[in-house]
Amino acid sequence: GAVVSQHPSRVICKSGTSVKIECRSLDFQATTMFWYRQFPKQSLMLMATSNEGSKATYEQGVEKDKFLINHASLTLSTLTVTSAHPEDSSFYICSPYGRGETQYFGPGTRLLVL
């Protein structure tokens, strides 16, 4: 299966700082990238969808100015949590999708904002 990496796997930051999460599809070209988050004991919720070279589309209730998504290449997408607050603490998962039928998921990044 395809290999998807996320970096960092865990991050702890102070409230008010920004955190960047990288997602790489290592052996296929991701024309579309989905970003999910998962709060403790809850399911994954889609945050936004981005196509390579285009602006991301955000789900209702997700602040686009707070969660900046860059999908500049077919193998790399980044999610930046700006001015993070404790309520942003969550498990962030990227999901690249390319031509084909299977959607792959990254291993996730656990963010803790103090």
Partner 1 sequence: AQSVTQPDIHITVSEGASLELRCNYSYGATPYLFWYVQSPGQGLQLLLKYFSGDTLVQGIKGFEAEFKRSQSSFNLRKPSVHWSDAAEYFCAVGGSGGYQKVTFGTGTKLQVIP
Q: What does the binding site for partner 1 look like in residue numbers (CB under 8 A)? A: 1, 31-32, 34, 42-46, 49, 93, 95, 97, 101-103, 105-108, 110
Q: How far is the CB of 43 from partner 1 (least distance, A)?
A: 5
Q: Measured from the CB atom, is 7 or 110 closer to partner 1?
A: 110
Taking the C-alpha atoms of residue 102 and residue 113, their distance in angstroms, rounded to an integer, is 33
Q: How far is the CB of 16 from partner 1 (least distance, A)?
A: 27
Taking the C-alpha atoms of residue 20 and residue 82, their distance in angstroms, rounded to an integer, is 8
Q: How far is the CB of 83 from partner 1 (least distance, A)?
A: 27
Q: How far is the CB of 54 from partner 1 (least distance, A)?
A: 13
Q: Measured from the CB atom, is 60 or 87 closer to partner 1?
A: 60
Return phi, psi of residue 86, to 5°.
-55, -35
Q: Measured from the CB atom, is 20 or 110 closer to partner 1?
A: 110
Taking the C-alpha atoms of residue 113 and residue 14, their distance in angstroms, rounded to an integer, is 6
Return the structure tokens found at 42: 């809850």
Q: Measured from the CB atom, is 31 or 70 closer to partner 1?
A: 31
Q: Is the dihedral of CA 98, 46, 26, 54 positive or negative?
A: positive
Taking the C-alpha atoms of residue 33 and residue 77, their distance in angstroms, rounded to an integer, is 7
